[in-house]
């Protein structure tokens, strides 16, 4: 029996029907050239026949609805694989549109707390000789990087390998792909190795004090609750709309190099421009800049444990600036300041700093205070490093890897990205009722990249 730390238990305490606290992933695959007509049926039968389920996939909560926030993991003695693994088919014509409708519906439903907190759906009938896998797992079990590690254990960069187990089955260490991505922070690797330059709570207090001091001097500096009210910060329902798209990684890197920035600076600027265009289309652009919270992994190099190991920084998205070059510069400076602050803290201090930043909002959610009146931030934008090589699963080439995330009350939109091979994969998760036509953000992201390429002279 293992007790959950506060950083994991908090996701269970926050969950209700309007706030499902699971994260998910959608993967697209091409059938191998020699695949028979019943290829997926055979794979599904092999999966169901597997009885060796590893942690954390065989663990459930001992006390699913603790009022005190005390939760423990225990092994599920009545584990039912048929409940967790499901084989589905899309209706004709099997377009990506039908797939995203299905994933949106699956992502909207709560996981059963009386069972291990995950589901995996094998989905056939996708046009273009493809199929999909959608998996969701509770955030109390994994953070973004840990979820990526668990999923990637079942894939290989060798298209000739067959009989690969699903993520919940025994480990195949001899077939694991390169782990370079698993601990590479999406912001800057130096944050992962900040070390012990500052110790104890004094380092966190000093960081917060400096943050508020600098905010009085620099427009790009951000403090909690500086965010303006916006339509992104409405009360949410439990219904989700999920949309996804791939963008060429080489082009994003070229823009970053030409603008003397980082890849993360560019994708943050893409998101800022898309949000600005979307809010203008809704006649709802605030006069003050939107503020994003940006998760940062603090998982040590080589660590593949589950649980949560994340910190946060706040970024000024400069959506009040009409000039894309000025907007990029402001975002770049804001990100640079946030990373510099975290680099002065140890791993434990980064986590404590994140708790200090977010605890007022989290406590408000727990006692029923709506997050739409005075948002701490407007949106979560997360960049999870992914595999750098093309992956295969039982001879099937993975053609897409899209993240689906969660949201709190008063946070009706989440944008998460995963780098995969030659692409940057965007997954947009929105409250279906609160934000109309949120899928248009994909078009606006493409326009934003074109805009940045133009000012970069590309």
Q: What are the distances in angstroms from CA 146 to CA 29, 298, 333, 390? A: 22, 11, 29, 20
Residue that wins the pLDDT comparison between 224 and 191: 224
Give, in degrees to the nearest 5, the angle at Cα 74 between 136 and 67. Answer: 80
Options 107, 121, 138, 139, the catalytic residue: 139
| Residues 296 and 237 grouped into a single domain | yes
pLDDT value at position 177? 45
Residue whose entry in the numeric block shows the structure tokens 């823009």: 255
Q: Kindly report the pTM of this predicted structure.
A: 0.87
| Residues 137 and 170 grouped into a single domain | yes
Q: CA-CA distance, 70 to 64, in Å (whole number)? A: 10
| Residues 125 and 271 grouped into a single domain | no
Average pLDDT value for residue range 195-207: 60
Mean pLDDT (the chain, rounded)? 85
Residues 6+ apart with CB under 8 A from 362: 10, 14
Residue that wins the pLDDT comparison between 342 and 322: 322
Q: Is the pLDDT at 61 greater than 60, yes or no?
A: yes
pLDDT value at position 301? 53
Contact 20, 238 (CB under 8 A): yes
Q: CA-CA distance, 18 to 362, in Å (whole number)? A: 15
Q: Sorting pLDDT into bands at 50, 70 and 90, what band is 185?
A: very low
Q: CA-CA distance, 30 to 398, in Å (whole number)? A: 7
- What Rg, from alpha-carbon coordinates, does the chain have? 21
Q: Sorting pLDDT into bands at 50, 70 and 90, what band is 358?
A: confident
pLDDT value at position 446? 97
| Residues 429 and 408 grouped into a single domain | yes
Q: Which residue from 317, 223, 222 is spatially nearest to 276, judged by alpha carbons?
A: 317
Q: Domain range holding 50? A: 2-178
* Residues of the chain above pLDDT 70, percent: 86
Q: Total structural domains in the chain?
A: 2
Q: The CATH number of the domain where 272 resides is what?
A: 3.30.559.30
Residue 184 lies in a domain: no
Average pLDDT value for residue range 238-257: 96
> How do residues 87-117 score in pLDDT, each as one tens digit?
999 998 899 999 999 999 999 999 999 999 9
Average pLDDT value for residue range 429-443: 94
| Residues 322 and 437 grouped into a single domain | yes
306 phi and psi angles, rounded to 5 deg: -90, -165
| Residues 195 and 309 grouped into a single domain | yes
Q: Is 139 a catalytic residue?
A: yes
Q: CA-CA distance, 330 to 321, in Å (whole number)? A: 9
* Least confident span in 287-301, 310-324, 326-340, 349-363: 349-363
Q: Is the pLDDT at 225 greater than 80, yes or no?
A: yes
| Residues 139 and 253 grouped into a single domain | no
Q: Sorting pLDDT into bands at 50, 70 and 90, what band is 191?
A: very low
Q: Is the pLDDT at 188 greater than 50, yes or no?
A: no
Residue that wins the pLDDT comparison between 50 and 45: 45
Residue 20 lies in a domain: yes
115 phi and psi angles, rounded to 5 deg: -130, 170
pLDDT value at position 208? 75
Residue 319 lies in a domain: yes
Q: Sorting pLDDT into bands at 50, 70 and 90, what band is 196?
A: very low
User: Could you tell me which residues are beta bridge partners of residue 124?
Assistant: 89
| Residues 201 and 280 grouped into a single domain | yes
Q: Is the pLDDT at 198 greater than 70, yes or no?
A: no
Q: Is the pLDDT at 186 greater than 60, yes or no?
A: no
Q: The CATH number of the domain where 65 resides is what?
A: 3.30.559.10
Domain boundary among 126, 146, 178: 178
Average pLDDT value for residue range 236-246: 95
Q: CA-CA distance, 212 to 17, in Å (whole number)? A: 36
pLDDT value at position 376? 87
């Amino acid at each position: 029996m293992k007790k959950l730390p506060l950083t994991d238990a908090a996701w269970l305490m926050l969950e209700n029907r309007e706030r499902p606290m699971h994260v998910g992933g959608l993967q697209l695959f091409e059938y191998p050239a020699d695949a028979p007509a019943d290829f997926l049926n055979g794979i599904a039968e092999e999966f169901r026949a597997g009885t060796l389920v590893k942690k954390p996939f065989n663990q459930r909560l001992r006390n699913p609805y603790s009022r005190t926030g005390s939760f423990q993991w225990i092994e599920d003695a009545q584990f039912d694989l048929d409940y967790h693994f499901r084989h589905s088919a899309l209706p004709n014509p099997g377009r990506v549109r039908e797939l995203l409708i299905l994933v949106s519906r699956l992502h909207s439903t709560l996981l059963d707390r009386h069972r291990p907190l995950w589901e995996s759906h094998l989905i056939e009938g996708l046009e273009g000789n493809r199929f999909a896998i959608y998996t969701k797992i509770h955030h109390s079990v994994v953070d973004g990087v840990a979820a990526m590690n668990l999923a990637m254990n079942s894939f290989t960069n060798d298209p000739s390998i067959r009989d690969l187990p699903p993520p919940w089955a025994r480990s195949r260490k001899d077939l694991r792909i390169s782990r370079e991505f698993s601990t590479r922070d999406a912001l800057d690797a130096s944050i992962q190795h900040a070390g012990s330059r500052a110790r104890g709570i004094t380092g966190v207090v000093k960081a917060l004090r400096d943050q508020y001091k600098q905010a009085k001097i620099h427009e790009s500096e951000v403090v909690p609750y500086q965010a303006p009210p916006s339509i992104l910060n409405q009360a949410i329902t439990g219904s989700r709309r999920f949309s996804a798209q791939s963008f060429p990684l080489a082009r994003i890197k070229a823009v970053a190099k030409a603008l003397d920035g980082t890849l993360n600076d560019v994708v943050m600027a893409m998101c800022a421009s898309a949000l600005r265009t979307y809010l203008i289309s809704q006649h709802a652009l605030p006069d003050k800049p939107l503020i994003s919270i940006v998760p940062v992994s603090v998982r040590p190099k080589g660590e593949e444990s589950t649980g949560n190991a994340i910190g946060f920084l706040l970024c000024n998205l400069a959506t009040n600036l009409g000039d894309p070059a000025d907007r990029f510069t402001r975002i770049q400076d804001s990100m640079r300041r946030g990373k510099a602050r975290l680099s002065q803290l140890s791993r434990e201090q980064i986590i404590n700093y994140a708790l200090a930043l977010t605890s007022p909002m989290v406590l408000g959610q727990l006692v029923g205070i709506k997050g739409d009146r005075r948002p701490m931030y407007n949106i979560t934008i997360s960049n999870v490093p992914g595999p750098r090589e093309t992956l295969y699963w039982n001879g099937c080439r993975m053609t897409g890897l899209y993240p689906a995330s969660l949201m709190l009350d008063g946070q009706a939109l989440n944008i998460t990205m995963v780098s995969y091979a030659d692409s940057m994969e965007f997954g947009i998760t929105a409250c279906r009722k609160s934000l109309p036509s949120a899928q248009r953000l994909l078009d606006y992201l493409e326009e934003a990249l074109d805009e940045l390429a133009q000012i970069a002279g590309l």
